[in-house]
Structure 1
């Protein structure tokens, strides 16, 4: 036997009423009403007669027209009605716990009503959609601007990838698919080095090798690196923190080669672990503009802070 839908005392807030939909509590609550219990029981029995059993048969004396016979009949009917109400209250209070309104005595002041509409203001509002112009790296506590010509990663196995240029092309070396531009973000955990300059200088060679020499699955999409040269390096402000970057121009056996940049800076969250952002841009007309490296760097923000920017030469502090 189930408790019918209706307003009942809220197990977690006895001074309020909560809507029970027949199987579970909903999030709809209200202040207690003022209707009489008799009216409620009548509606409950009419809408769910199976919950209370068949209506009792009231023995009636023979109709002799006397006032005494009528009084006896009314008294008997009232006694049966009281017994039915008490029985209903006992049935509703059988189960234990706060998962069913049957654990609470039958309400005495409210009448079951239609459930509130789905547009009720008490329902939780949907969460606002993510900013389509930014990519969030929750682990490292930063967001990066999603510039024109860039997209969120799709069909990418490396979890450190935060954005790529749209689409792929056939690699000029070993069989496979390549992308014209990729940006990575990861936490530095492999060593105890605390100098952002040292980390960036050490990382740039690995970044170049993975991008243009031999990748993680031992393929050589560009048939290897033939040479590289330093383009630029120095301090940089990233998300309000002082970091360091190193940028190389890489030439390859097959294809136009590209540009690789390693940039290290302290995170603004948690224990302020060091963060490494890598940029890999193909050279040539098909590659993204080299200026996008600086534009993305300047637009990196701490999560939840839309005003703290950066860039080369912007608010460089003493921390390295």
Structure 2
């Protein structure tokens, strides 16, 4: 024989500490707190004064199909109020009566730190600020000193890292463009059969002259093209502890005062010791950098990690 739970006040399955009226077939919207004074039970058809059934007959869990819409809304509202209280960082009182703030509530106007994705030891740190006095060629493992009144360039020419004078002027061959008084670029020597720094420097100087003072890769002749050149210096030189070689030309151009171009070649300090070539271009204009700056930069080239000097040399435009 099946047993039907009679109507009465039972523990509210949706609100701890409360009671809800069971009408014999389902939960109703009538609720009260546990221990509240006796109040008349809701009128239900067939029961004028239902009595409280023995506790052993009361359902321990709510009947699956009897939960009313009001009961569900009440549970959801209670849950939302709890979440809102946690997010807002409700002020709590400690054992000593002082106010404490939950850890979930930030104590400053700055956002709380997010997850780091690992242990405390793996917390990433900000990259150090790049040294404005050093041009770093990571590929070739060297640094070059950036002189006063020079700056690193964002321009990448033939995969080279580049620095230029800060000052510029209207190009003598194309007034609508602007040229720099000095340029230096470092790159790995490619597409060459040169086996020694001397062979590479002597081979590269013509290409350097063409690229820096004659025409660029799309035919722009910012200096009116190179009309002639004179060798002003060549010979072995020590670069970053390695024996290198340099060739320097003075070039005349179709427009403007011309300039000096230099190819410096030396073995890399890392890897398979491939050859590095550094190209220099200093305008012969009185506002251009002094020619001695080429030697100063050459002497200041270092292997990455070598901090024995060579930075911040004063060879800016005169």
Q: TM-score range by the shorter chain?
A: 0.5 to 0.7
Task: Answer yes or no: is the 8 Å Cα contact 2:186–2:279 preserved in 1.
Answer: yes
Q: State yes or no: 1:56 paired with 2:16.
A: yes
Task: Answer yes or no: is the 8 Å Cα contact 1:153–1:164 preserved in 2.
Answer: yes
- Report the 3-state secondary structure (helix = DSSP H, G, I; strand = E; otherwise coil) of the residue aligned with 1:223: coil
Within 5 A, what are the aligned runs for 1:186-201? 186-201=187-202
Task: Answer yes or no: is the 8 Å Cα contact 1:184–1:277 preserved in 2.
Answer: yes
C-alpha distance in 2, partners of 1:168/1:254?
16
Shift of 1:182: 0.5
Structure of larger gyration radius: 2
Instruction: Name the structure with the higher helix share.
Output: 1
- Report the 3-state secondary structure (helix = DSSP H, G, I; strand = E; otherwise coil) of the residue aligned with 2:152: coil
Partner in structure 2 of residue 218 of structure 1: 219
C-alpha distance in 1, partners of 2:129/2:259?
35
Within 5 A, what are the aligned runs for 1:166-315? 166-175=166-175, 176-307=177-308
Shift of 1:262: 0.2
Deviations 1:117-155 (A, max 9, x none): 7699x5544332111211111111111111102111146
- Report the 3-state secondary structure (helix = DSSP H, G, I; strand = E; otherwise coil) of the residue aligned with 2:261: strand
Deviations 1:147-192 (A, max 9, x none): 1021111466664241001143222124532211110111112123
Q: When the two structures are superposed, what TM-score results if normalisation uses the length of structure 2?
A: 0.59
Partner in structure 1 of residue 162 of structure 2: 162
C-alpha distance in 2, partners of 1:305/1:245?
22
Aligned length: 215
Name structure 2 gaps, 5 residues minimum: 1-12, 20-33, 38-54, 62-101, 115-119, 311-318
Deviations 1:202-256 (A, max 9, x none): 1001111122222222122222222211111111111121111111111122211
Partner in structure 2 of residue 6 of structure 1: none
C-alpha distance in 2, partners of 1:156/1:169?
20
Name structure 1 gaps, 5 residues minimum: 1-52, 64-72, 74-78, 81-111, 310-320
- Report the 3-state secondary structure (helix = DSSP H, G, I; strand = E; otherwise coil) of the residue aligned with 1:151: strand
C-alpha distance in 1, partners of 2:105/2:124?
16
Does the C-alpha gap of structure 1 residues 58 and 230 become closer, same or farther in structure 2, counting only changes over 3 Å?
A: same
- Report the 3-state secondary structure (helix = DSSP H, G, I; strand = E; otherwise coil) of the residue aligned with 1:152: strand
Does the C-alpha gap of structure 1 residues 222 and 270 become closer, same or farther in structure 2, counting only changes over 3 Å?
A: same
Partner in structure 2 of residue 137 of structure 1: 137
Partner in structure 1 of residue 126 of structure 2: 126
Task: Answer yes or no: is the 8 Å Cα contact 1:161–1:182 preserved in 2.
Answer: no
Q: When the two structures are superposed, what TM-score results if normalisation uses the length of structure 1?
A: 0.59
Moved over 6 A (4+): 58-63
- Report the 3-state secondary structure (helix = DSSP H, G, I; strand = E; otherwise coil) of the residue aligned with 2:153: coil
Does the C-alpha gap of structure 1 residues 195 and 278 become closer, same or farther in structure 2, counting only changes over 3 Å?
A: same
- Report the 3-state secondary structure (helix = DSSP H, G, I; strand = E; otherwise coil) of the residue aligned with 1:147: coil
C-alpha distance in 2, partners of 1:271/1:227?
37
Instruction: Name the structure with the higher strand share.
Output: 2
Does the C-alpha gap of structure 1 residues 202 and 257 become closer, same or farther in structure 2, counting only changes over 3 Å?
A: same
